[in-house]
Structure 1
Amino acid sequence: MKRLMLATVSLAAIATPALAQEDEIVIQAQRENASAVTGEGDLGALGDKKTEDVPFVVRSYNEAIILNQQPLTLGALLENDPTIRTSYGFGNASEQFVIRGFQLFGDDVGLNGLYGIAPRQLIAPELFQSVQVLNGASAFLNGAAPGGSGIGGSVNLQLKRADRDLTRATASYIGDQHFGGSFDVARRFGDGSFGVRVNGAFRSGDVAIEGEFRRTAVLGAAFDWRGERVRASLDLGYQRVEVDGLRPKVTIGTTVIPRVPEADANYAQPWTYTDMRDVFGVARIEYDVGDNALLYATAGARDGMEEGIYSGLTVLDATTGAANGNALYVPRTDNNEAIEAGLRVKLGQAVTHEVNFGGNIAWLTNRNAFDFLYGPGFAGFDTNLYDTPVAAIPSSTLVGGNLDEPFPISKTRLWSVFASDTIGLFDNRLLVTGGLRLQSIRVQTFNAYNGGLLDSVYEENAVTPVVGVVVKPVAGVSLFANRIEGLQQGPTAPIDPILVNPGEVFAPTKSVQYEVGGKIAIGGFDASLALFQIDLPSAYAVPTGSGGQQVYGLFGKQRNRGIELSFAGEVAPGLRLIGGGTVVDAKLRETLGGANEGNRAQGVPEYTANLNAEWDLGFVPGLTLTGRVVHTGPQAVNVANTLELDDWTRVDLGARYVFAAGDKPLTLRVGVDNVANARYWASAYDAFNQALLQGAPRTVRASLSVDF
């Protein structure tokens, strides 16, 4: 009996450390897998800043959210943001984001602080360490966005860096038959001064929308060196995205909004497709001139290719769904380069100064052509929203440019120089920022119908100032106010045969933003509240009075006033929340002839609200329950405000479980988006048509990650 007791004690002594080590592995991995939003980001001319120190609202979504949710696109990731909603362009997979009631093109998303370098149209999120969102105008901070958007806010992507050793492999599934995998390897060498991170992903198959096929391949490599005074990095990336049978937006040609089709219905033609390839890179060097002075320079380039047959439909009978279809073939290539350099100096003690000087320049060349596939007389083809037949591809109707070797349609050069000073008083409890940026925009356009001869040139200069104040009355609380201007390249008239001026590029326009608000940071919880007003000249098409044609131009302005609340962090042990909401009053002012004066702007929700929750179940080690609620208020479908979308709500549920296999953590994730399989019109935002985007159907997601 005594020998048995000794044996039992000996076995327990051996087993207990093993169990403790396993629990430690699980707990550590569960913490690292926690989705997080931090109040910090790259503020362009001002550098990397915490939100409490700047008179703007900025937040960053970390790479754990991307890993946990496995979003197919940047737009799917930004569904977590309570102030952003996503729409598409004409007939193609071109994501556009609505922030504070104004659009941000996918082309105008920043990459490591540079414009024109990120992949366009659709961006796969796997290559990025963080996705940073800045609400509000940012012409001083980043310069004018080359695509002419971003007045209500901007998004900047930060590529992954080797901050720690990592070896991870992930397998994923997204309903209906979409499978994929990814890898992520990071190492620091020697004394830790040199780091390498290589990661990639491949996904392919049908998604939850019937007959919609997507294939994505991405590969990224990051190299960085951290010396005593010098830091250098080089990032290289490749992305290829293919979408076949994309469910398009629905143009409304009636006085009634058609009922929403089945949640997974697809009214696309099977011969529609988008094929996009981007190769891009960014190099950066920083040099500490002294303890209080930093010199930096960043350069980037992108080579892009796109080809596709895009199709849309216009509903003619809201009851039966009878519609007219059309198509457009577009081959396109892009060659972009961008450079930024500057000096940042910190001075003083009792009264501090952070002075910034710098400038940037970007060159963008767009080569494309187009072929309207409408058939004889632009008649299009018969189709139906609810019972979609397979139609033959219409014959070529009108060709612009060289379809085999597209010549330049536009060449854009943007350069700017900036200077700012942030003065700190009372131990930096009062921060006053003032700055100016001189911006130049030069655009050459070439006529697609006469062999690409130079059609027009404009070059405009503008100064965009900023004034901001931050007051910190007590630790963890900051109050702020700003006046900042936005600058955008003038709008371009859409390529559409109904317009008398398709492709016309207008002079740059300015917007003015006023904003006040407050922020709190308590432990691991951050929150911000902001009130804002933004005025922007508005562009849309109006009838010419003859032949049913229209002219696209700048007519009046759009004034958006609103209030935003956002919060993120751990509110109780193991319980993390990400959420908030916004209310926007978007009105048309000084309209042409007073038409639609005071009406609501098209496609801007009256309010939006989100709540994400993650709960680590302490009584089941390694198990985390997740949930998300997305709510969007009513939207005007047209500027006359005779049509309106109802509000809608979507609920997503999921869980993840961390367990140990030997001394390696494995993470299993499962989730269901749109649990109720609700069908709804998600967005009415469109720059030209009365067009609706349908919300995604119920989608099952699963992934398994192992860290070696």
Structure 2
Amino acid sequence: MTHYFSNAPSLAATFCAPFFATVSQAQNDVDTTVELAPISITANPIRLPSASLTTALLPEATGGQVASGSQLGLLGNRNRLDTPFNVTSYISTYISDIQARSIADVVAADPSVRVVFPRASYRDVYYIRGFSLFSYNMGLDGLYGIAPKQRYPAEFAERIEILKGPDTFVNGVSLGGSVGGAINIVPKRATYDDVTALTTSFESDSELGIHVDVGRRFGEAKQFGIRFNSLVNDGDLTLDDQSSKLGATALSLNYQGDRLRLYGDVGTQRQKVDAVDWVDTLAPGVNKPPSIDDHTDLGQPWASFTSKDSYAAVRGEYDLTDQWTAFSSLGISTTETTGIFVQPTNLKANGDYLAAIRSFPSNGTSVSTQSGLRGTFNTGPLDHSLTLATAYWHQDLKAVSTAFGSYAANAYNTISQPKPNTSAIVDLDDIHKTSQVNFSSVALADTLSVLNERVQLTLGGRQQSIQSDSYAAQSGAKTSSYDRSAFSPALGVVFKLNDYLSLYGNYVEALQQGPSVPNTALNYGDIFAPVVSRQVETGIKAEIGTWFTSLAAFQITQPNGNTDLHTNIYSLDGEQRNRGLEWNISGALLAQVRILGGAMLIDGRQTKTADGVYDDKKAIGVPKYQANLGLEWDTPVPDLTLSTRVIRTDKQYVDAANTQSIDAWTRYDLGARYSLKGVMDKPVVLRVAVENVANTRYWSSASTGQVSGISRATPRTLLLSSTFSF
């Protein structure tokens, strides 16, 4: 039996700014297969995989930046031409090439994704197709609630996979939902080739880092694998008075037998960010925010957050026959975040604002499981790829908010304030759990295909149950509860006109937990009942020689929530409807030139609002268009690659009435990478990159919901790194 392991990452990285570089093409084209037994099963990457190969990583696509397919939860790994959804999978080579420090740096390459929380903060929050996705809603090898809650080190990822649109059908329900799209992290695992790499890094102003990556396979048939990653970053960043410390370790074990495959992943990390940045809010009547130096700290040097995370996950697969495979996975994680922050509120055109001092420590434990049976069979002329699966996710959470008053300040003349007496912050050990959630589901999916899989129809659905209880922190008394079940149907279709061109469409529904009230609203702590969102999508995909492109049209509707500017009460108000066109392109345009990017035209509207007050108004934080263009060029100078990227985002509205907005913005990035030979002729890769090379000053995003406000852009940032392979 032939099993496919992920390509060994070159670890030669470039930068994550818009002028990137790529390691030599040879490094991007390594084919790694492991022969474990005399029986050979070959999976055609353009066809649906057998049951035993549905979790094997698909090979990288031409260009060495993205993969030829990705995981689709319930449906297993699918080649992108065989997928009735729009998906992109960024590979480890690209992650290292752009010197990505977190998942946010990787998804910045996607025109459908924007980061809506300041880079100078301690967490990542995204908008995908105009809907929010929190970092704690990302999957870790398909399991929700297991990855570190605030930020995940991108250096530990083999693949970063983005599925556009609701993912409830393929992945199940996550805590905050993922209506616009989902992000899944595939951790690094041992490859056929040995990996021993040491990477040193520098980020302006003075943060230094070191990353160790070691991987080996053992056994007569290389059936045992181990991969170890560890990194430490420490130093000052570009925001005034800001510094960051991160220590993280991850260990991956796996066994690849004739019929049995086992995987285990454990990790721990601790992050501390001083002078932490936050989203800002505009004062009523202020049409546009003032232009503020991006280096200016609108908070205080003593504002600091510390997060600690530990996780463990195991997964097993057993081939009952050549056509049927049983699978199961289990993950558990613990998380804790403590600290104090300053949020600029009521920001005025002259720079005046009211700085609110707050704290909301939290900790929690999550348990996530999946089990199922996957197989293939025929009924007459129809070929079937069937999956029956169950999923369960449980979380116990403690969280409490404390306000320490506020002070008047001005963004153009910031003044240090004494740190308040924080003795009022509640010790998490002294309170009861404040919430408990249980998500459970049973899902069935059948992909029927005819004409040598030229026509594929996926039918299925997920019966879901959401049970949530809230409790008073001090007494432990239950304050609210709901228990709701619903069936979410799904339909997907693929018409493959030939091996290189396919048409696709889908209809999916998503049941998700009701929105949580942001901590800035008066009714913070309220939790709304589950809501149902829907998507309709159609598109075309083409593999044209050495490059790939796709065009999709979609509509997503979701019950909407807003914070009233006058009452400061957050409530569900009507529906948000996002319609859009999405274009993606990747691959090698020429032998030495690679492209990665695309554009999204989107019309986000509010509908069905109370008394029609905001009907047809633009949705908060949803621009008319977003565009990305990244290019890499292998210059005539041997082993020297230059890169560039441009990111463009149109004007965004800040409030539901569309009276406040932030301007359109453009960011330019540059990079270069040079590869040379080091010890024992092993490669050494040197990288340099500059993000926001023009040092453009702008407000990058507006958002609503649990994170409501506007975020400042990151100023010009220099990135340097060197990777030594041994």
Deviation at 1:73, TM superposition (A): 2.1
1:355 maps to a residue whose letter is L
Tell me, yes or no, if the aligned pair for 1:30 and 1:658 is still in contact at 8 Å.
no
TM-score, scaled relative to structure 1: 0.91
Q: In structure 2, how many angstroms separate the alpha carbons of the residues matched to 1:595 and 1:309?
A: 37
1:539 maps to a residue whose letter is G
Q: In structure 2, how many angstroms separate the alpha carbons of the residues matched to 1:119 and 1:690?
A: 23
Match of 2:143 in 1: 114
Deviation at 1:240, TM superposition (A): 1.3
Query: Given the alignment, which residue of 266, 270, 273 partners 1:240?
Result: 270
Tell me, yes or no, if the aligned pair for 2:500 and 2:543 is still in contact at 8 Å.
yes
Deviation digits for residues 181-226 of structure 1 (CA, Å, limit 9, x no counterpart): 1011111112211111111111111112222211111111111111
Query: Given the alignment, which residue of 188, 208, 225 partners 1:160?
Result: 188
Counterpart mapping for 1:78-89 below 5 A: 78-88=107-117
Match of 2:449 in 1: 424
1:250 maps to a residue whose letter is D
The 3 A distance-change label for structure 1 pair 559 and 198 is: same
Tell me, yes or no, if the aligned pair for 1:540 and 1:688 is still in contact at 8 Å.
no
Asked if 1:551 corresponds to 2:551, the answer is no
Q: In structure 2, how many angstroms separate the alpha carbons of the residues matched to 1:433 and 1:158?
A: 24
Query: Given the alignment, which residue of 423, 428, 438 partners 1:413?
Result: 438
Q: In structure 2, how many angstroms separate the alpha carbons of the residues matched to 1:318 and 1:274?
A: 29
Deviation digits for residues 57-103 of structure 1 (CA, Å, limit 9, x no counterpart): 11111111221222222112211111100112899533211011111
Q: In structure 1, how many angstroms separate the alpha carbons of the residues matched to 2:94 and 2:532?
A: 35
Q: In structure 2, how many angstroms separate the alpha carbons of the residues matched to 1:79 and 1:688?
A: 21
Q: In structure 1, how many angstroms separate the alpha carbons of the residues matched to 2:399 and 2:664?
A: 38
Query: Given the alignment, which residue of 655, 661, 671 partners 1:638?
Result: 655
Counterpart mapping for 1:66-105 below 5 A: 66-88=95-117, 93-105=122-134
Match of 1:669 in 2: 687
RMSD: 2.0
Q: In structure 2, how many angstroms separate the alpha carbons of the residues matched to 1:124 and 1:246?
A: 18
The 3 A distance-change label for structure 1 pair 384 and 178 is: same
Tell me, yes or no, if the aligned pair for 1:29 and 1:658 is still in contact at 8 Å.
no
Q: In structure 2, how many angstroms separate the alpha carbons of the residues matched to 1:574 and 1:92?
A: 37
Q: In structure 2, how many angstroms separate the alpha carbons of the residues matched to 1:404 and 1:392?
A: 27
The 3 A distance-change label for structure 1 pair 180 and 35 is: farther
Deviation at 1:470, TM superposition (A): 0.3
Match of 2:644 in 1: 627
Q: In structure 2, how many angstroms separate the alpha carbons of the residues matched to 1:132 and 1:656?
A: 25
Match of 1:502 in 2: 524
Deviation digits for residues 301-347 of structure 1 (CA, Å, limit 9, x no counterpart): 1011111102101245312x121111112222110111101111111
Tell me, yes or no, if the aligned pair for 2:28 and 2:64 is still in contact at 8 Å.
no
3-state DSSP class of the match of 2:281?
Answer: strand
1:311 maps to a residue whose letter is V
Tell me, yes or no, if the aligned pair for 2:562 and 2:704 is still in contact at 8 Å.
no
Between Structure 1 and Structure 2, how many residues are aligned? Answer: 668
Match of 1:452 in 2: 476
3-state DSSP class of the match of 2:468?
Answer: strand
Q: In structure 1, how many angstroms separate the alpha carbons of the residues matched to 2:468 and 2:120?
A: 26
2:232 maps to a residue whose letter is F
Query: Given the alignment, which residue of 589, 602, 625 partners 1:584?
Result: 602
Query: Given the alignment, which residue of 258, 266, 269 partners 1:228?
Result: 258
Asked if 1:696 corresponds to 2:700, the answer is no
Deviation at 1:594, TM superposition (A): 1.2
3-state DSSP class of the match of 2:430?
Answer: coil
3-state DSSP class of the match of 1:66?
Answer: helix
1:698 maps to a residue whose letter is R
Match of 1:61 in 2: 90
The 3 A distance-change label for structure 1 pair 542 and 315 is: closer
Tell me, yes or no, if the aligned pair for 2:516 and 2:527 is still in contact at 8 Å.
yes
Query: Given the alignment, which residue of 535, 543, 552 partners 2:557?
Result: 535
Q: In structure 1, how many angstroms separate the alpha carbons of the residues matched to 2:142 and 2:73?
A: 6
Deviation at 1:123, TM superposition (A): 2.1
3-state DSSP class of the match of 1:75?
Answer: helix
Match of 1:610 in 2: 628
1:488 maps to a residue whose letter is Q
The 3 A distance-change label for structure 1 pair 688 and 437 is: closer
Tell me, yes or no, if the aligned pair for 2:518 and 2:708 is still in contact at 8 Å.
no
Deviation at 1:107, TM superposition (A): 1.2
Match of 1:477 in 2: 501
Tell me, yes or no, if the aligned pair for 1:194 and 1:225 is still in contact at 8 Å.
yes
Deviation at 1:396, TM superposition (A): 6.7
Q: In structure 1, how many angstroms separate the alpha carbons of the residues matched to 2:236 and 2:120?
A: 19
Tell me, yes or no, if the aligned pair for 1:90 and 1:249 is still in contact at 8 Å.
no
Match of 2:410 in 1: 384
Runs of 5+ in structure 1 lacking a partner? 1-24, 375-379
Tell me, yes or no, if the aligned pair for 2:233 and 2:245 is still in contact at 8 Å.
yes
Deviation at 1:472, TM superposition (A): 0.6
Query: Given the alignment, which residue of 301, 316, 324 partners 1:293?
Result: 324
Q: In structure 2, how many angstroms separate the alpha carbons of the residues matched to 1:70 and 1:642?
A: 39
Runs of 5+ in structure 2 lacking a partner? 1-22, 31-59
2:319 maps to a residue whose letter is D
Q: In structure 1, how many angstroms separate the alpha carbons of the residues matched to 2:120 and 2:719?
A: 26
Match of 1:340 in 2: 370
Tell me, yes or no, if the aligned pair for 1:39 and 1:526 is still in contact at 8 Å.
no
2:502 maps to a residue whose letter is S
Q: Which one has more relative contact order, counting CA pairs under 8 Å at least 6 apart?
A: 2
Match of 1:569 in 2: 587
Query: Given the alignment, which residue of 123, 137, 140 partners 2:169?
Result: 140
Deviation digits for residues 394-419 of structure 1 (CA, Å, limit 9, x no counterpart): 457987x6555342110111000011
Match of 1:685 in 2: 703
